[in-house]
Amino acid sequence: MKWFLCLIAACLYLCLHVDAESRLSRSAIESAVKAAKATVDSAYEYSRRVSVERVKRDAAKPSDVLRLLKQPVGSTRDAVRAADYMDNAVKLIKRSLQRREKRSINATDLITDEDLQVIADLTGCSSRHRVPSCKTTANLNRFRTVSSVCNNRGNTRRGSSNTPFARWLPAEYQDKISLPKGWDPKRKVNRQFLPLVRAVSNRILSTANADVESDPLYTHLVTIFGQWTDHDLTFTPHSPVIRSFNSGIDCERSCERTEPCFPIEIPEQDPRFGRNSEECIPFFRSAAACGSGGSGLFFGQQTVREQINSLTAFIDVGQVYGADNSKARFLRNLTTDEGLLRVNTQYTDNGRELLPFSNMETNMCATRARITNDNNVEEVPCFVAGDERSNENIGLTSVHTLLMREHNRLARALAELNPHWDGERLYQEARKIMGGYFQVLTFRDYLLHIVGPDVMSRDLSTYPGYDEDVDPSISNVFATAAYRFAHLMIQPFMFRLNEQYQEHSDYPSPLLHKAFFTPWRITFEGGLDPILRGLVGRQAKQNTQDQMMPDELRERLFKFSGDLALDLAALNMQRGRDHGLPGYTKWRKFCGLCKPRNRKQLEKVLKNKNLAKSLLDLYRTPENIDVWLGGVAEPFVDGGRVGPLFACLIATQFQRIRQGDRLWWENEGVFTEDQRESLRETSLARIICDNTGITEVPERPFQYRPRGSGYTQCKDIPAFDLSPWTENIV
């Protein structure tokens, strides 16, 4: 293979050109970087070609869907590629140095800081760490930059897109640097072997669809809003490659663990074992940040592997607008000077706007024929929005569409108030109002139902003011564990209801696995209204300790064919190990909660003897319980939908998001007092009324009420007051 020959050539070149006195010659470093780039580019191209071919042949597997869904794009892909260049270049140099010394050594000690800097410059990693200047950025005090660079004027990258997740506790990797816990299944952790994540999923989380209990208090919109909010704050790109850089092994054809392949082993007693000769579920590691994981310098110091957040850390509705300049520009309608977002030019929803179609060469959304078993139906491309996951399910797609419409409604209304504003001003002002909307809705209406009134009043009530020393960056444990709590609130169906909030006769509610990547259900099956009625008129799933995750997510995730589907519970735990998250009890200690050390103490924390026994039968020690599982297994705090651990971690993150945001809606000078007064009256029910054909809604859409009392006619819900945005020309 070409990439392998390049690697050998580079190693030989290095062996001949290592200067014993200066450690490495410039030409040796350049040769290693050239070889590394060839290896990485070859793997990227192979992966792209295979993905395109599979999708075009309607042969995409569930693992393909997940990998394509989590692909880095745009500036994020550039950042990931630079990291892969540097990591592979350093590994080539280390191997050569070890050959030169003819013994096993810590080769990193032989690579000087100066050498690492040269490698970083040649691979593009240096630019990922360079601190941007804010001197030439216009309107910094009025509008956010798309990537949130310069939100913090002193630390200009803080909270911006394409920066590493924060670590609230030190990472725990098998090799102390990069390899996940469980990479070597025969290696003990805290003197015990880690259980297979699929075995844990089978034993602890398995729930038949028919056994699901509905939440007595909250609507299914709570679940989708959690996903919507998460997609404003966190996106962890996977490695773009499907074969090992080291050996060339295709991750989807082997159960071997070799970077970036970290397959989920299927236990022998599992009904899946041996089916279609499969013994593992393909799993790809999250991409590493530039210079982390033992490959060199990271912000001036050697560090463990860190993962990238490609989104901003702020509630800024990036799911609508994008988190980098090229994506934001692509989403705008620049054919007019009206400040509008692009819309679909082929179809409408009863005259209302739909999201534009993607122009990607791979169409993951060509699912209609497979799901309906009718090869004569028309397929449509995926929709495109500010976040790459907008087509994941039709509930999420509907919220994306709703908020695209609201931006355009605001831009048109602002143009009537201020006909002298140009398109750029209209776009930025509408975007700013949208950010204010969701800051209000998240803190006033949503978080109360998740962390409960006690945590809200203690940690998230009165705005404390902006503090430039607070780091709002999203923490790894929040993104990878705590804010995945809502995975246990997802119903097995995506409900669609008629005008009377009854099951829709023409468009019945599909099972969830038949609502993944199905924009055609919106285009051809009644549009947004039935789906939004289903979100506000039906209950969320209730997470109970004996009924955690339905089979739609454990056995049929992204299942469009006979291939083995993914298991969301197993993915969550494997991802936590991939990211080096410490175990459950260390996070309990971080939050000032008691740290269970044995079965009796775990029983007390969980208030459940059987669950504690099952967990310790698997893990042997509470220390090894995966933090996501431990968090979702806890009984709820009063009035909330998470236990004490996740209530702490979620509240801590949102505290930092709010206090570390210079452009938070309540911060003095961001909005006028009159504008803040309007924003305080923001109504999600009103947004639904303004942008759909729905005529009555629950006035509080997160709280479940049977139709009748608690439902309000749209004409009786006050409109959002835009008059404070009127600009008088002197």
What is the residue whose two structure tokens read 């660079």? 149
DSSP label of 381:
P
Burial 556-587 (b: 16+ CB within 10 A, else e): bbbbbeebbbbbbbbbbbbbbbbbbbbbbbeb
Instruction: Count CA atoms within 13 Å of residue 275 on its CB side.
Output: 12
Q: What is the DSSP string of 240-305?
A: S-SB-TTT--BTTS----BTTB--EEPPTTSTTTTGGG--EE--BPBPBPTT-SSSSEETTEE---
CA dist 488 and 548 (Å) reads 6
Cα four-point dihedral sign 389, 126, 110, 16: positive
Contact 253, 47 (CB under 8 A): no
**Selected catalytic residue, list 220, 231, 487, 513:** 231
DSSP label of 105:
-
> 546 by DSSP, 3-state: which?
coil
Phi-psi group of 418: left, alpha or beta (phi > 0 → left; psi -120 to 50 → alpha; rest → beta):
beta
Query: Which contacts of 520-524 are long-range, i.e. CB under 8 A and separated by 24 or more positions?
Result: 520/365, 520/367, 520/368, 520/377, 520/378, 520/379, 520/380, 521/394, 522/349, 522/354, 522/394, 522/397, 522/398, 522/401, 523/347, 523/354, 523/380, 524/378
Contact 187, 174 (CB under 8 A): yes
CA distances from 250 to 352, 634, 689 (A): 45, 39, 50
Of 22, 2, 244, 210, the closest CA to residue 112 belongs to 22
Cα four-point dihedral sign 302, 306, 310, 316: negative
CA dist 579 and 295 (Å) reads 16
Q: Is 449 a catalytic residue?
A: no
Give the list of residues 6+ apart from residue 45 with CB closer than 8 angstroms, or none: none
At 244, give phi and psi (nearest 5°): -70, 135
User: Which run of H or of E encompasses 238?
Assistant: none
Of 181, 198, 266, the closest CA to residue 567 belongs to 198
DSSP label of 707:
S
How many other CB atoms are found less than 10 A from the CB of residue 550?
Answer: 26
Cα 469 to the center of its chain, rounded Å: 26
Give the list of residues 6+ apart from residue 193 with CB closer than 8 angstroms, or none: 185, 186, 620
Tell me whether residue 49 is exposed, middle or buried, using C-beta atoms within 10 angstroms of its C-beta: 0 to 12, 13 to 18, 19 or more: exposed
Instruction: Write out the catalytic residue numbers.
Output: 231
